[in-house]
Every structure is written in C-alpha cells, then in structure tokens.
C-alpha cells in the first residue's frame, strides 16, 4: 500500500473526529445572537400569587400528559394549550426557551453539554430582582448553570420521589420543579412502552399530591414539558410528538375554567411562557425576549382581566409594544424588516458559502474522475445518499431524533456507511471495470472530508444564527462517522 493512501486515510479520520466530536461544542454559543435588551418603565402593583409552581416534566409527551389526572384537574381550574418548543427539542435549549422567551437560534443554547451561563435574560432573574424568593428543585443542575444568579435556593436530588416534598417547608414564592425520570424511561424503553406509561403515572401521582397542598384561589401552577419522545425513544427533531407539549396554567390570574386544549394547528408558542408568567406575577418581562412576529398577544387569552387592577393589562400591552418597537429599530439597523427577513437573508448567505465549498469538492472529483467524471460523480453522490437513507430507514428519522444514545447511534451509522461503501465498491467494479476502484474511493474520502468542512464554512464555529433545518443541523454527526468508515474501506480495498 502506498504511503499516500495511509496519509489520506489518517487525515480523513482526524477530520471526522474533529468535526464530529467537536460539533457538540460547536453548536452552542451562550453569548447569544442579536439580543435586544429592553428596560420597561415601572409597573402598576398587583396582588401576586402567594405561591407559584412551575413544573417542567422532562420528556413528557403531549398525548401522555393529556391523560394525566393532574393535568385534567388543572384544566378544570384554568387553561391547557399545546405549546411548540421550537427548532431543537433538546432539554437544555428548551429550558432556555422556557426561561427567556427567546428561540434557540438567538439564545445560543443548542446542546446539553455546554454549562456556561446564558447572556439572555430570564424570568427567574426578573422575579428575583422584583423580590420573589426563587427556588429550583431538579434532578439536574442545568437550570442553575444557565441562570446562576437567579435562584435563592437550588437543590439537586437524585431521588425523584423526594423532589415534590422539598417545597413543603420552603419560603419560596416562585418554585421550579423539574423531574427527569420520565425522560430517562423514554430513552431506555421508548414512549410506547409500559415502563413509560408507569413513569407518567408516577409523576402524575406526585403532581396530584402537590396540588392537594395548593390553593388555586391564591396560588399559581404551570405544568409543562421540554419535549416529547418517539415511540421507540429519542427526541431533538420537529415531529409533532416531540415539539408539541401540553402546557397548563391554573390558579390566580388565569382565565378559562375548563377551556378545551388548543388545536395543534395553532399551538401556543413556548417563547410566550416566560412573558405570560411575568404578567401573572406582576414582574417585568425578560429583557431580551422575542418581540416582533411573536405570540405575545396570546398572553391575554391566558390571563383573566377581572383578576387584575384596572389598567394593569393595558400597561403590559404597552410594554409589549415597547419591546416590538425596540426590536424593529434593531432590525432596521440590520437592514431587515422582520426577524423572518433577517433569518432568510442569513440563510441565503449560509447556503452560498456552503455551496461554493461543495461545488469545489465536486469539481475536484470530476477532475480526478477524468472522462468518466459524470457517471462517477453520480456514483459518489449515490454513496452519500445511500448512507443517509439507510440511517433514516433504520431509525425512522434523519435528525437528532435518530441518536437517542450515542454509542448505538455511532455503531448504526457506521454500519449504514459500511453497507453503502460496500455497495459502492460492487457497483463501481461492474460499471467501471477499467478504473482502479481504490483510487476512486480515495476521491470519495477526500470529497467527503471537504463536505464536512463545508458545514463549518457555511454555518461557522461556533454555529451562528439562524440554525439550519433539522437535516443539515444533524448532518455533521453522520458525515463525520461516514468519513471514518469510508476511509477504512479505502484502506482495506486492495484495488
């Protein structure tokens, strides 16, 4: 074997390792993007809820939540809606959406591994600054990592049965409760399993016991989730069972006694949860929340006008217009009329940068393939497509949903890439008998490496805003694994 072959294979494996494993860290930038801080004028005083509980059940599917007795009890005293969590249905990014009123594109929280504090402002900080005693009880430290200054008390407890008992004697006036065992069960057994059903029943019973201690004439309860799960387990994509979660508001200041759940065709925007809570508590909106092409008017379908002093909700509407005006001025400075227009412009730039690099890769392949270039370029593209199609067929999705657990995903993707490479070798020897298969596999490896680097050129390191769609967002994981597999095939084939 030529020394050059070993160098090509080694370089490809290194590029795959860096672009694949490094992609987890490349995803996030907690400094955020296009943040527009707004300071509201002083608000009219209201009689705030005596106690407020925000319950975020990790991994709770909407259909499972709708069967919970505790959710039905909350709906009987308030309003339940279907909430859209946004473009990445992964835990820490959605915690940021719930807390800030800002989408994942701009919070910069896009993975579960980055623990640095967010720059974007949060409802927890607004409430703390307004004099609320903010407490968090979770099986994970992640909320406090995102917002370290906001919580007067934050306790991590690995015993989920103790989680709902902690607030009994606490002085907290705003409490976050975050059980995780439902999500863990879905990862292990899938959301269609009896184990998942048992986990949902368990958390339902825990919430029901909490509600026995709550006076909904004086207190406020919000029940929601960060994402759902597929039947076989896994989340991260935009499928309805993942991105739409049941969110219930009940208690002091909440409208609707037994209002039916909103249809999924017009879901509540999860970015609106934090500003809705701000209105119910009488505290300022998170300073960097989304405004413009927003769901902020939905706040006033959740709130009961009769429960607030005259003029209070009008003041909150004026506050929303203040945010919208500030956001419009910021967009004008960016030469855009709306966030959608800015995102579209930036996506065109991303596509242009990525396309230039991909065309370079294909031109390089065409030149190396010489006179049979057109047919061999089709062969190369078909190998890529077969790898991706195989993974989508086996896992049922081509997005973050396909991962579930990392080690099985790596093995599965490697197997799909190996099958595609084996088929490519067989086809090559039949369709191009006069060519050296090993040389063209080398071209496959080189162009795949360039394609992996094209994603970095297009979207940046760290990943910029806006985020790519679910397939392109997911592609670097698959590309990195496929590149290593193709490199091994290149080394192993003799001719």
pLDDT of 158 higher than 80: no
Is 309 in the same domain as 344? no
Place of tokens 């099986």: 139
- Tell me whether residue 391 is in a domain: yes
Is 264 in the same domain as 278? yes
- Tell me whether residue 108 is in a domain: yes
pLDDT of 454 higher than 50: yes
Is 22 in the same domain as 132? no
- Tell me whether residue 41 is in a domain: no
Contact 338, 293 (CB under 8 A): yes
Query: In the predicted model, what is the mean pLDDT of the chain?
Result: 94
Is 245 in the same domain as 313? yes
Enumerate residues 6+ apart whose C-beta is below 8 A from 128: 134, 149, 150, 151, 152
pLDDT greater at residue 467 or residue 262? 467
- Tell me whether residue 60 is in a domain: yes
pLDDT of 265 higher than 70: no
pLDDT of 259 higher than 60: no
Whole-number pLDDT of residue 127 = 98
The domain that holds 170 is classified in CATH as: 3.40.720.10
pLDDT greater at residue 265 or residue 455? 455
Whole-number pLDDT of residue 72 = 96
Half-sphere exposure of 331 (CA within 13 A, CB side): 20
Is 221 in the same domain as 307? yes
Report how far residue 281's alpha carbon sits from residue 194's, in angstroms, rounded to the nearest whole number. Answer: 39
Is 258 in the same domain as 347? no
Is 83 in the same domain as 213? yes
- Counting residues of the chain whose pLDDT is more than 90, the rounded percentage is 86
pLDDT of 429 higher than 80: yes
Kindly report, residue by residue over 378-428, the tens digit of the pLDDT. 999 999 999 999 999 999 899 999 999 999 999 999 999 999 999 999 999
- Reported confidence tier of residue 257, pLDDT bands at 50, 70, 90: low
- Tell me whether residue 47 is in a domain: no
Is 449 in the same domain as 485? yes
Contact 58, 228 (CB under 8 A): no
- Tell me whether residue 38 is in a domain: no
Is 303 in the same domain as 414? no
Whole-number pLDDT of residue 225 = 98
Residue where a domain stops, chosen among 333, 368, 401? 333
Q: Which of 88, 92, 54 is nearest to 74 (CA)?
A: 54
pLDDT of 170 higher than 50: yes
Whole-number pLDDT of residue 79 = 94
Into how many domains does the chain fold?
Answer: 2
Range name among 40-54, 164-178, 462-476 with the lowest pLDDT average:
164-178
H or E stretch covering 103? none
Whole-number pLDDT of residue 169 = 66
Contact 193, 61 (CB under 8 A): no
Range name among 143-152, 169-178, 315-324 with the lowest pLDDT average:
169-178
Residue where a domain stops, chosen among 333, 353, 385? 333
Enumerate residues 6+ apart whose C-beta is below 8 A from 433: none
Kindly report, residue by residue over 23-46, the tens digit of the pLDDT. 999 999 999 999 999 999 999 999
- Reported confidence tier of residue 1, pLDDT bands at 50, 70, 90: low
Residue where a domain stops, chosen among 287, 308, 333? 333
Structure tokens at 312: 């209070």
182 conformational bin, left if phi > 0, alpha if psi -120 to 50, beta if neither: alpha
Kindly report, residue by residue over 180-194, the tens digit of the pLDDT. 999 999 999 999 999
Is 280 in the same domain as 382? no
What count of other Cβ atoms lies within 10 Å of the Cβ of residue 422? 12
Is 85 in the same domain as 139? yes
Whole-number pLDDT of residue 7 = 85
Kindly report, residue by residue over 94-143, the tens digit of the pLDDT. 999 999 999 999 999 999 999 999 999 999 999 999 999 999 999 999 99
pTM (two decimals): 0.95
- Tell me whether residue 243 is in a domain: yes
Sign of CA dihedral 67, 71, 73, 79: negative
Kindly report, residue by residue over 284-314, the tens digit of the pLDDT. 999 999 999 999 999 999 999 999 999 999 9
Kindly report, residue by residue over 82-107, the tens digit of the pLDDT. 999 999 999 999 999 999 999 999 99
Is 359 in the same domain as 249? no
Whole-number pLDDT of residue 262 = 42
- Tell me whether residue 44 is in a domain: no
Structural domain boundaries enclosing 444: 3-28+337-492
């Amino acid at each position: 074997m030529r020394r050059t072959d070993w160098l090509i294979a080694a370089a490809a494996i290194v590029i795959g390792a860096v672009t694949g494993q490094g992609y987890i860290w490349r995803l996030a930038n907690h400094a955020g993007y296009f943040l527009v801080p707004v300071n509201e004028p002083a608000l009219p005083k209201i009689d705030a809820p005596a106690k407020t509980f925000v319950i975020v059940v990790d991994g709770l599917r909407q259909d499972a939540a709708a069967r919970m007795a505790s959710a039905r009890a909350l709906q009987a005293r308030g309003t339940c809606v279907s909430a859209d969590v946004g473009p990445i249905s992964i835990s820490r990014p959605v915690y940021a959406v719930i807390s800030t009123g800002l989408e994942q594109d701009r919070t910069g929280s896009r993975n579960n591994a980055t623990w640095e504090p967010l720059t974007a402002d949060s409802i927890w900080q607004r409430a703390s600054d307004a004099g609320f005693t903010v407490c968090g009880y979770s099986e994970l430290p992640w909320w406090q990592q995102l917002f370290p200054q906001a919580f007067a008390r934050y306790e991590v407890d690995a015993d989920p049965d103790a989680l709902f008992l902690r607030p009994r004697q606490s002085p907290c006036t705003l409490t976050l409760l975050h059980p995780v065992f439902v999500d863990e069960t879905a990862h292990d057994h899938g959301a269609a399993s009896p184990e998942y059903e048992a986990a949902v029943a368990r958390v339902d019973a825990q919430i029901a016991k909490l509600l026995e201690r709550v006076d909904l004439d004086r207190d406020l309860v919000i029940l929601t989730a960060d994402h759902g799960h597929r039947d076989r387990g896994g989340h991260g994509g935009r499928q309805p069972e993942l991105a739409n979660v049941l969110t219930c508001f009940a208690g002091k200041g909440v409208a609707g006694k037994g209002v039916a759940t909103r249809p999924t065709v017009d879901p509540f925007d999860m970015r609106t949860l934090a500003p809705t809570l701000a209105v119910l508590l009488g505290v300022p909106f998170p300073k960097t929340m989304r405004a413009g092409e927003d769901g902020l008017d939905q706040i006033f379908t959740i709130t009961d006008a009769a429960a607030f002093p005259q003029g209070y909700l009008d003041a909150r509407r004026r506050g929303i217009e203040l945010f919208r005006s500030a956001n419009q001025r910021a967009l004008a400075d960016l030469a855009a009329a709306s966030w959608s227009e800015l995102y579209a412009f930036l996506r065109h730039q991303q596509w242009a940068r990525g396309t230039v690099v991909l065309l370079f890769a294909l031109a390089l392949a065409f030149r190396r393939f010489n006179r049979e270039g057109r047919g061999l370029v089709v062969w190369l593209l078909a190998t890529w497509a077969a790898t991706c199609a195989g993974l989508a067929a086996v896992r049922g999705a081509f997005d973050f949903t396909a991962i579930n657990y990392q080690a099985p995903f790596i093995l599965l993707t490697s197997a799909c890439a190996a099958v595609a490479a084996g088929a490519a070798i067989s086809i090559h020897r039949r369709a191009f008998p006069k060519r050296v298969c090993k040389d063209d596999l080398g071209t496959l490896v080189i162009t795949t490496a360039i394609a992996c680097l094209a994603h970095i050129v297009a979207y940046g390191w760290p990943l910029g805003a806006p985020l790519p769609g679910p397939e392109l967002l997911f592609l670097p994981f698959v590309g990195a694994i496929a590149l290593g597999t193709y490199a091994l095939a290149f080394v192993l084939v003799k001719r």
